[in-house]
Amino acid sequence: MIDPDISSFFSGLEATIAYAKKYQENNSEEFAFEFNPLIHFYDKGENQLSDMLAFFLDPEEKHGQKRLFVDIFLKELGLTEIVGFYTNVRVKREQPTDERRKIDIVLFFDNRYAIGVENKIWAPDQNMQVSDYYDWLDKHYPNRFSLIYLTPYGHSPSAIDESRKIIIKDHSTFTINLIKLWAEKCKADKVRHFLKDFSQFVDNEIKGCMFVSVNRRFF
């Protein structure tokens, strides 16, 4: 027998969901609740996400917010000491390594410090891939670099020596919260609205990744 309180809870939940759906239907012309150009018109995947992250991390890009986004990024990583000392930052997409691999994003701070960002959503990391990225950064910026590894839920790379210290972050909290912080601090309305769509785009990517992962596990 179903507990009356549980039955009442789900009945109320169904009514709330039905009301929300009806409200969306009746007001879709004015608010377009489900419209997000990133979801409907852009290609999905790691490259798209890396392109957008690189764009907002570059102070010279057309978002017009100068160092705001990259400084927030550094603070969220706990690299606050970098915020005060750099004059210029150069952002490079797909930085080649000596092993003919490509680091998704590298930020160069006055050629004094470098941050590599490896973004993983769908594709698994290749054999020794992250170790190769670490070695390249260490060769060119010895003791003056950080390597960030972004995955849907903060999973570690498949093969890397424990002596190689990397910063592991998850998209489900770190990246989405970072973009929301960008939106909160951004002064330009149209950029702020885009960032809100961007956070939803990342959230959908993560949910899609989780769905595929569950299906692979159980089917």
Worst-scoring range by mean pLDDT, 42-56, 144-158, 205-219? 205-219
Q: What pLDDT was estimated at residue 40?
A: 45
Report the distance separating Cα 151 and Cα 141, nearest Å. Answer: 24
- Say how far apart CA 155 and CA 163 lie, in whole Å: 17
Q: Strand 89-96's sheet: what is its strand order?
A: 89-96, 102-109, 113-119, 145-151, 167-170
Listing DSSP states for 180-209 in one string gives HHHHHH---HHHHHHHHHHHHHHHHHHHHH
**What does the domain layout of the chain look like in residue ranges?**
4-34, 43-218
Q: Could you give the percent of the chain with pLDDT greater than 90? A: 37
For residue 161, how far is the Cα from the chain centroid?
25
179 alpha-carbon distance from chain centroid:
8
CA distances from 213 to 65, 116, 118, 193, 208 (A): 37, 26, 20, 31, 9
Q: What is the pTM of this model?
A: 0.75
Token pair in block for residue 42:
């852009």
